[in-house]
Amino acid sequence: MGSSERTRTVKLVLPSRETMEGAGVHLRRAFGNNEVPMLDPFLLLDDFRSENPEDYIAGFPWHPHRGIETVTYMLDGHVEHEDSMGNKGVIGAGDVQWMTAGSGIVHQEMPKVDQKRLGGFQLWVNLPAKQKMMDPRYQEVKSTEIPVAVPAKGVSVKVVAGEVGGVRGPMKDLVVEPEYLDVRLEPDAVFSHPVKPGHTAFSYVLEGDARFDGEEGERVSSENLVVFGDGSGVHVAGGSKPSRFLLISGKPLGEPVAWWGPIVMNSRREIEQAIHEYQEGTFVKKGKQVH
């Protein structure tokens, strides 16, 4: 970044917290509804890495979503996906599933049982009011389709969405202009990356530690969330060991958030309508209702 540009500083560091979701899946929540609207348009980030099958084998049986997008990024193991639009498949290490629930989708995500380790992340992205009832859609990208950029010595970036050094991610037609990057730094490597002013930006540390305020900043270690202030880019300096982190940004919506479980709308009335439709069997507008 040039001298006229302003590096984003660290506004807040939040430790992830243990919680339970689905049919009894133990995971770490980096942020959720307690942090609304600080990370607008993002609603939730869950870290479900575990080497204990008892933590995750119950999975996420059939459940509805409306008004959001869910982004599942796998690091280890395999998850079987099935939904009310008829999509069915398995996502494995390095694969990404970007599901736009829109007007309503019912799906399940079940870990395969013949594995000793499961790892990955799920991000919830809010949809603007005018697109909350859009037709559902589903994008699945295999790890071999996700390009890797090498913008500097000792830096490699898997570009899920957005662009790094002319390398563009494979996700198309995303509503909130998100960037989703998986960044690896060798010891003492430095990563500088532009982020649109006004966009929300955060990092989540997977491995090692790094300084997110540049070379003089405080070290932030794994399982911590870094919330950036505004500016035109980020500047991250690696530590004495290799480090890895997600860097995610997007355009805030600035709209009211009404949140009930897996459904996020703009008003209580819209939530009540969604619950009523789910109970009556009219929730799914495209595809077929499943339970």
The rounded distance, in Å, linking the Cα atoms of 282 and 275 is 10
- 257 domain-assigned: no
Bridge partners of 135?
none
- 282 domain-assigned: no
Beginning with the edge strand found earlier in the chain, give each strand of the sheet holding 179-185 in spatial order: 10-15, 224-228, 200-207, 243-250, 179-185, 155-161, 148-152
pLDDT tens for each residue of the chain, 291 residues long: 443 469 999 999 999 999 988 757 789 999 999 999 999 999 999 999 887 777 787 778 888 999 999 999 999 988 988 888 888 888 999 999 999 999 999 989 888 766 678 899 999 999 999 999 999 998 899 999 999 999 999 999 999 999 999 999 998 778 898 999 999 999 999 999 999 999 999 999 999 999 999 778 899 999 999 999 999 999 999 999 999 999 999 999 999 999 999 999 999 999 999 999 999 999 988 766 655
Q: What 3-state class would DSSP assign to 63?
A: strand
How many angstroms separate the first and last alpha carbons of the chain? Answer: 51
- 276 domain-assigned: no
The tokens describing 224, both together, are: 């911590």
Q: Please say whether the beta carbons of 59 and 101 come within 8 A.
A: no
75 CB-near residues (< 8 Å, 6+ apart): 49, 93, 94, 119, 120, 121
- 222 domain-assigned: yes
- Domain CATH number, residue 81: 2.60.120.10
Q: For residue 272, what is the DSSP state?
A: H
pLDDT value for 2: 44
pLDDT value for 4: 45
- Domain ranges, residue 29: 10-250
pLDDT value for 118: 85
Q: What is the largest CA-CA distance in the chain?
A: 59
- 271 domain-assigned: no
Q: What 3-state class would DSSP assign to 291?
A: coil
Amino acid at 242: P
- 281 domain-assigned: no
Q: Where are the alpha helices (DSSP H) in 10-116?
A: 53-56
- 265 domain-assigned: no
Q: What 3-state class would DSSP assign to 177?
A: coil
Q: Please say whether the beta carbons of 26 and 20 come within 8 A.
A: yes
pLDDT value for 281: 92
The rounded distance, in Å, linking the Cα atoms of 151 and 270 is 45
Q: What 3-state class would DSSP assign to 33?
A: helix
pLDDT value for 291: 57
The tokens describing 41, both together, are: 């348009």
The rounded distance, in Å, linking the Cα atoms of 244 and 276 is 43
- 105 domain-assigned: yes
| Tally of domains in the chain | 1
